[in-house]
Amino acid sequence: MSDTEIAVRPRAYVNDPAGKSLTLTYASGMIAVLPHSFLRVYSPMVKLPITDEEMLSAESASIVDIEEIGDDGILLTFADGLRGLCLWTYFFELAKRHQVLVPIFLKQLAAIKEKKNG
């Protein structure tokens, strides 16, 4: 494995089904906590743009299985049956920007809920 591959691959990852989050820990000390709902909406296997209803349904998303696929990444399986390969490079980019991206996502979700509830 090259130095670049080592840098983008997390040292550890932990799926927390109860907390509905995936925590990635990198050798650099960076830690990213990614909500399942965020990953369900912004995973590479989802066609964008998504509708408000799809955003709302993602709120209950849960990752039920994770399978490592060689050194490239992991195969995520969500409770609703969506499955797809997420490369370590993709997770690394999310991890670097999660402190900005996740709050934006949560604000978007809250605004959609508020609009729907009137």
In tens, the pLDDT along 95-118 reads: 999 999 999 999 999 999 998 887
Residue 2 has pLDDT above 60, yes or no: no
In tens, the pLDDT along 7-48 reads: 899 999 999 999 999 999 999 999 999 999 999 988 887 777
pTM of the predicted model as reported, rounded to 2 decimal places? 0.87
In tens, the pLDDT along 72-88 reads: 999 999 999 989 899 99
∠ CA 94-80-59, rounded to 5°: 55
Print burial letters for 36-71: b (CB count within 10 Å at least 16), e (below 16).
bbbbbbbbeeeeeeeeeeebeebbebebeeeeeeee
CB atoms within 10 A of CB 2: 7
Sequence-ordered alpha helix ranges (H) in 1-118: 3-8, 36-42, 52-58, 88-117
What are the Cα distances from residue 115, in Å, to 38, 54, 96, 110?
20, 14, 31, 9
